[in-house]
Amino acid sequence: MNKQEVYDFLEKNHIEHEITEHAAVYNMEELAQVQLPYPDRDAKNLFVRDDKRRNYYLITVRGDKRVNLKDFRRKQGTKPLTFASPEELEEMLGLIPGAVTPFGLLNDARCRVHFYIDRDFWQGSGLIGVHPNDNTATVWLKAEDLVRLLRDHGTAVDIVALD
């Protein structure tokens, strides 16, 4: 699914959303230079795998948070974790580094990637800002709508407290 297909998918599913087009960004520091309407609602996404390359996870937190993979592993009961390779990212989610997003899970036809999202997104407005499978825009939508779309797709989703 490319950027326009993500937009069309949201329209087809009657998901209220807002789009901010911007220059390509490859990390949170570059995104901080972009004028965003909801800068406290942008998401940071980590695509990781276990040491046996059997289980893959997408972890999504607010942009100002750090994720300690050892703590995550302990709390979620996974094997040791490391970042997946760009080749694994392309193969499983059809994405490139810098464009990692929960919308990439819609490209995972076999639903091999388990999604973990920080429950902080449900605080306040409930908005989350994520790339539309392309790092030249941010889509703002309700976190609950994003989770519903992914669960309807067949993706395993856990809403967790991530410090």
The string of pLDDT tens digits covering residues 31-60 is 777 788 888 899 999 999 999 999 999 999
φ, ψ at 115 (rounded to 5°): -105, 130
Cα separation, 10 vs 100, whole angstroms: 18
Report the pLDDT value the prediction gives residue 139, as an integer from 0 to 100.
97
> How confident is the model over 141-153, as a mean pLDDT?
98
Please report which confidence band the pLDDT of residue 152 belongs to, taking 50, 70 and 90 as the band edges. very high
> How confident is the model over 127-155, as a mean pLDDT?
96
Q: Compute CA distances 106 → 75, 113, 115, whole Å.
A: 26, 10, 11
Report the pLDDT value the prediction gives residue 27, as an integer from 0 to 100.
66
Conformation bin of residue 43: beta by default, left when phi > 0, alpha when psi is -120 to 50 = beta
- pTM comes to 0.93
Report the pLDDT value the prediction gives residue 24, as an integer from 0 to 100.
79
Residue 26 has pLDDT above 90, yes or no: no
3-state helix, strand, coil in the chain (%, to 5): 35, 25, 40
Closest CA to 96 of 108, 109, 87: 87
Q: 3-160, what's its fold?
A: YbaK protein (3.90.960)
Please report which confidence band the pLDDT of residue 18 belongs to, taking 50, 70 and 90 as the band edges. very high
Report the pLDDT value the prediction gives residue 33, as an integer from 0 to 100.
79
Contact 57, 81 (CB under 8 A): yes
Residue 52 is given by DSSP the state T
Cα separation, 84 vs 54, whole angstroms: 11
Count the neighbouring beta carbons within 10 Å of the beta carbon of residue 88. Answer: 16
pLDDT tens per residue, range 77-123: 999 999 999 999 999 999 999 899 999 999 999 999 999 999 999 99
Arithmetic mean of pLDDT over the chain? 93
% of the chain exceeding 90 in pLDDT: 83
Report the pLDDT value the prediction gives residue 45, as an integer from 0 to 100.
95
